[in-house]
Amino acid sequence: INRNVSGNPDAPVVLQAWEDFLCPACGSWNQMIKPRLMDNYITEGKIQLEFRHFPLSQHEPGASTAAQSAECAGDQGAFWPMHDKLFAGQNSGAAAFSAERMIEYAEELGLDSRTFTQCLTGQQHFDTVRGSLNQAMSLGLNSTPSLLINGQLVDNPMDYDAVSAEIDRLLAAAGQ
């Protein structure tokens, strides 16, 4: 099972969210848009949501540390809970994205902290995060959050009505 995927794996519509855990707009998207998509589409099994890492250079080193911590949590089946903790931590500023804080988050989530710490400090998911970043670049993405619905970039990811209209259009085209 893909740790960074939520919803129906066979859905005709795939929403890719390319995000940076330190990006304030991504934080807003996760508070305002994602819950409505969860309620109306994802938990209903109508679409699949894929989280993709896009750590921005201006947010380093925290952005990559956060991305790797989500993957380390994913090793223990807790990708999405860590994802939510990381976005919630934005209000605490840069201190929220230290390795020490990530380890605290892992402990709060009940993960094996020794395994998590070894994963994070050993940068076991460096290549995963770097590969995702390289893919974002090759797609020509230049901001976060970048939303792709069935491979097409959404003009305004913060406009729920526009996002849902495009999802509805594609679902209708797929006979759903």
Mean pLDDT (the chain) is: 95
pTM over 0.85: yes
Mean pLDDT computed over 34-62: 95
Q: Do 115 and 71 touch, CB atoms closer than 8 A?
A: no
Strand extents, DSSP E, the chain: 5-7, 13-19, 47-53, 146-149, 152-153
Confidence band (pLDDT; 50, 70, 90) for 94?
confident
Q: Give the bridge partners for 14, in sequence order.
A: 48
pLDDT at 1 over 90: no
Whole-angstrom Cα distance, residue 170 to residue 41? Answer: 12
Structure token pair of residue 134: 């390289």
Dihedral sign, Cα of residue 48, residue 102, residue 120, residue 18:
positive
